[in-house]
Amino acid sequence: MLPLRRTSLLIHRLPLARFSSNARENVTQSATQHDSDTHFGFQTVKESDKWKKVHKVFEEVAASYDLMNDAMSMGIHRVWKDIFMERLSPVGNGIRLLDMAGGTGDIAFRYMKYLQKQTTPDRKPSHVTVCDINQNMLDVGQQRWEKLNLPTAGDTIEWVCADAEKLPFEDSSFSVYTIAFGIRNCTHIDKVLSEAHRVLKPGGRFMCLEFSHVNNEYLKWVYDQYSFQVIPPMGQILANQWQPYQYLVESIRKFPQQNEFKAMIQNAGFKCVEYENLTFGVVAIHSGFKL
């Protein structure tokens, strides 16, 4: 465990290694038992291989992840995440938020800043768990958090390396589950949604921010040209990485359409499911409740 800073920050170092090992073992064992074909971008691969390939992608891009997000989206990803937090509008005391695939901390940090603006008397402290299957991404997030040095007024944050398809948390543990730009990289989206439903308390909210599909044909052509002709070369120039960013743009095209993903969330047991397109459907926010 790291020494406590002036803030009330809690970062659990020891559990990270344990969860990291278990996460990889769980993925390998599950995939080996039912080794069907799946997609890795436009490639067809075995399920047992996909998580390794995705893991390698994010190991390679972790150090330059935030820089590339700014470059690829021309900074618009920050606006999308701000809107995401506005739609979440976290209220109440003692909220427990699980930010899945949240490695570098963008959503968690926005939430912690939101909490510090709350002036409700006798507000109970909230807790954020940043969870990611990739330790490299979590390491970047922890370093960013230490540099941020944000006063937390008793609110706490922890970092856990674990698999979204088999979370190491008890049933009904969290008030809110968020996942931003991560679920499309998971091998079994249905299992991720099922786990999200399991760990949420009754009345808890699921929110997902993810790249989606542009319906306007002209805008779709422009978007495709930018995605395939600009983003991979940009990755090569700025981060000396072409293939990871080729995968990222391909993975977006393989992700379900907005209505199809909405149906998957409903099938996982969530109610009042709806979605909102941002920037003509380049990204979408999906929301549902465990009732």
Q: What is the pLDDT of residue 92?
A: 66
Residue 44 assigned as binding residue: no
Closest-CA residue to 187 (of 167, 171, 208, 164): 164
> For residues 257 and 284, what is the distance between their CA atoms, to the nearest angstrom?
10
Per residue in 223-259, pLDDT (tens digit) is 999 999 998 898 888 878 788 788 888 889 999 999 9
Per residue in 132-188, pLDDT (tens digit) is 998 988 999 999 999 998 888 889 999 999 999 999 999 999 999 999 999 998 989
Domains in the chain: boundaries: 37-73+214-253, 75-211+256-290
Contact 87, 165 (CB under 8 A): no
Confidence of residue 57 (pLDDT cuts 50, 70, 90): low
Matching residue, tokens 């931003």: 180
Q: What is the mean pLDDT of the chain?
A: 83
Per residue in 34-55, pLDDT (tens digit) is 668 775 566 566 776 766 666 6
Pairing of strands 37-40, 43-46: antiparallel
Question: Across the strands, what pairs with 100?
Answer: 131, 179
Residue 108 assigned as binding residue: no
Contact 23, 37 (CB under 8 A): no
Which overall architecture, per CATH, does domain 75-211+256-290 show? 3-Layer(aba) Sandwich (3.40)
